[in-house]
Chain A
Amino acid sequence: MEVLADFFAQYGDLLLQEAWNTILMTVISTFFAYVIGLPLGVALVVTSPKGLRPHRVVNAILGWIVNIGRSFPFIILLVVIIPFTRLLVGTSLGVAGAIVPLTVSAAPFVGRMVEQSLSEVDAGLIEAAQSFGASTWQIVWKVYLREGVSSLIRGVSIAYITIFGYAAMAGAVGAGGLGDLAIRYGYQRYIGSVMVAAVVICIIWVQLFQSIGDYAARKIDKRR
């Protein structure tokens, strides 16, 4: 008990601070990844050959962008994108510096997830909406996004946890956060206890997020 008290007296603030940094950068990155990825996913579905507004060229270009973005190794993107990150937020370090590469790397992934969720929506519902004279926009808002909501929420947990994993990597190049802390103390200074504590916090947080996501997805779904 005393050991634990000592440990938290010494490292508690640090852990708390870095945990907060991690949560901040991952939540904000997830938000912006959806700001880009949600319209991207919608556009992929709408312009697909069987979509509401089929458009081969647009669909192919979007598909390409997504595939290139997804196949780009994150650790390389992190470095390559530094000038752009500086331009956008003034620094490539800290929470602000991490948000840009995290968002850029997650947006294409989110786009695919959204596309997947929306394409699961029963085609019969799209047809029914069309038969009542719904416009493309109305079908996107009132049918795709609304009927696909449960699957979209599940997608948010997956996207968030993926971004969380990337954020630990971003820690290696000065983004801060729990990943950075674990590496600095555990790997470079051999203070294993801090590393273990950082990892435990990560696990608990990811579990919590997943459970909340699952619960929300189940709660909101009115199908049986």
Chain B
Amino acid sequence: MIEIEHLNKTFTARSGVHHALSDINLRIEDGDVFGIIGQSGAGKSTLVRCINMLEQPTSGTVRIDGADITGYRGRQLLGLRSRIGMIFQNFSLFQQRTVLNNVTFPLELSREGRGGKNATREGREARAKELLELVGLADHADRYPSELSGGQQQRVAIARALANEPSIMLCDEATSALDTRTTVSILNLLRDINKNLGVTMVLITHSLAVARMVCNRIAVIDEGRIVEEGSTEQVFSNPQSAVTRELLHFDSLTQVQADEERAGN
């Protein structure tokens, strides 16, 4: 469970103080697929980066399974991060490593696991192969990321994020760089991982369609504030904030456009 209370984040630049997050309160239950939606610059990435402390909150608390992580430093912080998987909009795969060795990367880091099965190269590669199997890329193990399509690259990134058996996975616009069909297949994969492995997903998107497909709960964020939160059905059937309605409207527009395109063909 992730509990965020009175979270604030300000950035101090030459131009002045910028409130990226203002008094955020959220509760993400185990097994949730939690969508965080908002316009560009709303603070989505900043919020999610506070969950694995890539961003140090200015004030407030973030608790994971009851433990306040905002004070974590050094080894404790690295340990926390190793238990939270993350995937990114542009995949962020290591270009000079094979697909297999991208997946072994998190396993090479582990400090406590020295004596375990991840201590040897064979052990790590065996585990990586299992994961590639899971994402359907077992036969691409020896390729390099530059030889793969965007969708395949994101699958590799998902396998890599799962390497340390995380209980939480953070997805920052994981499908924004992909076409519709690939987006659907990646979302299906994430949903399967959530169902079968019980991984809690925190999913950033600016597309309500994406959120609708996989999320059971949604929070809408605007200018650093949560303007709406609830179950997916609730938010879609009875949107409370103007921002949500705007997003919904835009979404229906693109839906109409997509329908028209399909009809035209």
Contact = CB atoms under 8 A, between A and B. Distances in A.
Interface in B35-79: 52, 54, 77-79
A224 B147 contact: yes
A222 B109 contact: no
Contacts of A122: 92
A125 interface: yes
B79 A133 contact: yes
B54 A131 contact: yes
B169 to A, nearest CB: 11
Given A124-B90, A224-B147, A135 B95 contact: no
Contacts of B150: none
B96 interface: yes
A30 B97 CA distance: 28
Contacts of A134: 78, 109
Contact of A223 (B86, B95, B164): B95
Nearest to A128: B92
B146 A223 contact: yes
Interface in B150-175: 160, 163-164, 170
Given A146-B97, A147-B94, A222-B96, A133 B78 contact: yes
A132 interface: yes
A128 B88 contact: yes
B79 A125 contact: no
Given A128-B86, A146-B97, A223-B146, A135 B78 contact: yes
A130 interface: yes
Interface string A112-146: 00000000001011011111111100100011001
B82 interface: yes
Contact of B106 (A124, A127, A133): A133
B144 A222 contact: yes
A contact face: mostly helix, strand, loop, or mixed: helix
Contacts of B90: 124
A149 interface: yes
Query: A interface, how many residues as a size bin?
Result: 20 to 34
Given A124-B92, A147-B95, A223-B95, A132 B144 contact: no
Interface in B85-103: 85-86, 88, 90, 92, 94-97
A124 B173 CA distance: 14
A132 B96 contact: no
B96 A221 contact: yes
A152 to B, nearest CB: 11
A75 to B, nearest CB: 40
Nearest to A146: B96
Contacts of A138: 108-109
A142 B164 CA distance: 18
B82 A147 contact: no
A131 B96 contact: no
Interface string A185-208: 000000000000000000000000
A138 B106 CA distance: 11
B81 interface: yes
A17 to B, nearest CB: 41
B80 interface: yes
A132 B88 CA distance: 13
A135 B77 CA distance: 10
A132 B105 contact: yes
B81 A132 contact: yes
B135 interface: no
Contacts of A146: 94, 96-97
A135 B79 CA distance: 10
B82 to A, nearest CB: 3
Given A132-B109, A134-B109, A143 B94 contact: yes
B109 A133 contact: yes
Nearest to A150: B96
Interface in B120-155: 144-147
Contacts of A132: 81-82, 85-86, 105-106, 109, 160, 163-164
Nearest to A220: B96
B81 A133 contact: yes
Nearest to A131: B86
Nearest to B102: A128
A147 B146 contact: no
Interface of B: 52, 54, 77-82, 84-86, 88, 90, 92, 94-97, 105-106, 108-110, 144-147, 160, 163-164, 170
